[in-house]
Amino acid sequence: IPARIQAQRLQPPLLCSGTMLSLSLGVVAALAPLAAAWVDHGHMLTAAVAARYAPPGMEAALSRLLGAEPEFVNFTDFPGAAVWMDHIKCSAAEVAARKAWCRGLATALGSHQLDFFHFFQWPYAPEKTTGDQEPPTYQGNPVDELHQAIGALFAGAGSRFMWSFNVRLLLHVVGDLHQPLHVSSYRNKTLFADPVRNPEGDDLGGNLIHISGNYSNLGPSLHQVWDFAGGDFMDSWPVDRAVLDGAADGLVAEHPPQRFVDAGRLNASWSQGTDCGAGAIAQLLRDAVRDTRRMVPWAYAEFLGRLASAGRFSRAKPEYSPSPEYVQFVRHTARSQIALGGYRLSHVMRCLDPRMPGEVLFA
């Protein structure tokens, strides 16, 4: 299994403030269709695990807060709000065609302005013999954006839009940071470089590695095999809440929080509503990225082993037929990561609870 963690790449700057969203994204159209994460099912499960540990009454209060925007009425509880950031990407044509992943919005937005919020680009270049092994700067990437969003929420006041936007951002992006191919891309200029669209030669989180063979039903790319949790969680919104809660209970039983605490992967105070300072929350998010990044060599190991054995792949369309053992690894890892993401998200939500504004502020 490749062990080196090397190379750097910075994201374009993004700014999120208390009442306004200011974006400086450059040209992102080429990457826009690739900005996805766990599909709705995985994101909703992450939020359902978090809701399981939320303070009494918090979800109901948050639903009232989020329910003031009629066009987003389907995204007001914890699980629903967690998928809003993917549904705003749906075009009018996708909604009209009743695509399964685009049924939630009253009006199609077709917006890709927030696509860079979904990825923390920390390239994986195992073939390199030298290079930096530290992560890229956190400034201007999803961790930085979450830190700013949480800072705005922790201030306690602000407009209803500020609250609804930043809460939905929080519920979604914390889930993204637990999908290994959302924190890294395999870098190989021979296979993937395009002088205009992709000069660094990144595989865009596995989106440029095409799946063939017995598991091609999981999606056209390696990225989607992970998005679908190896086939365990493939549903789009809506997913019945009772079904979600039952699945969340199963994940908690399968991957209990104490196991992560004992392994040093989860703060021992995660369920206590402490360690709630801005610095502590920022560190929690950075630690989550580093923790997820450690899984990336395993996520690419079988593909790279095949690549080495074959000598070369087609540069135009690298193909990979995963083994049953690899898909089982994806399933186990994804289930563990969704549970862990829920525990970390609940830590942040517990810190947010006492700062939620009363209804009078929005009268």
Query: Which residue is it, tokens 């994460």?
Result: 37
Is residue 214 a contact partner of residue 205, using CB atoms and an 8 Å limit? no
Cis-peptide into 126, omega within 30 deg: no
DSSP one-letter string for 6-50 = ----PPPPEEE-SS-EEE---S-TTTGGG---S-HHHHHHHHHHH
- Residue 325: is it exposed, middle or buried by C-beta count within 10 angstroms (0-12/13-18/19+)? exposed
Q: Return d(Cα 164, Cα 15) in angstroms, integer.
A: 17
What three-state secondary structure class fits 119? coil
Minimum mean pLDDT among 23-32, 167-176, 227-236: which range? 23-32
Secondary-structure percent of the chain, ordered helix, strand, coil, rounded to 5? 50, 5, 45
Distance of CA 108 to the CA centre of its chain: 22
Output the pLDDT for position 149.
81
Residue 12 has pLDDT above 70, yes or no: no
Does the pLDDT value for residue 252 go beyond 80?
A: yes
The pTM of this model reads 0.85
To the nearest 10 degrees (0 to 180), the angle between helices 324-352 and 241-254 is 100
Alpha-carbon dihedral sign for residues 230, 116, 169, 122: positive
Q: How confident is the model at residue 1 (pLDDT cuts 50, 70, 90)?
A: very low
Give the chain's domains with CATH numbers.
Answer: 38-362 (1.10.575.10)
pLDDT at residue 31 tops 50: no
Query: What beta strand segments (E) does the chain contain?
Result: 14-16, 21-23, 210-211, 319-320
CA distance 247 to 330: 17
pLDDT at 359: 57
Q: Which of 17-31, 67-81, 91-105, 208-222 reaches the highest mean pLDDT? A: 208-222
Q: Report whether 334 contacts 163 (CB < 8 A).
A: no
What is the C-alpha to C-alpha distance for residues 267 and 249, in angstroms, rounded to an integer? 21
Burial of 228 (0-12, 13-18, 19+ CB in 10 A): buried
Look up residue 306 and give its two tokens.
């095949």
Residue, of 87 and 261, whose pLDDT is higher: 261
Task: Please compute the mean of the pLDDT values over residues 331-344 and round it to a whole number.
Answer: 99
Q: Whole-angstrom Cα distance, residue 83 to residue 330?
A: 22
What is the pLDDT, as a whole number, of residue 155? 78
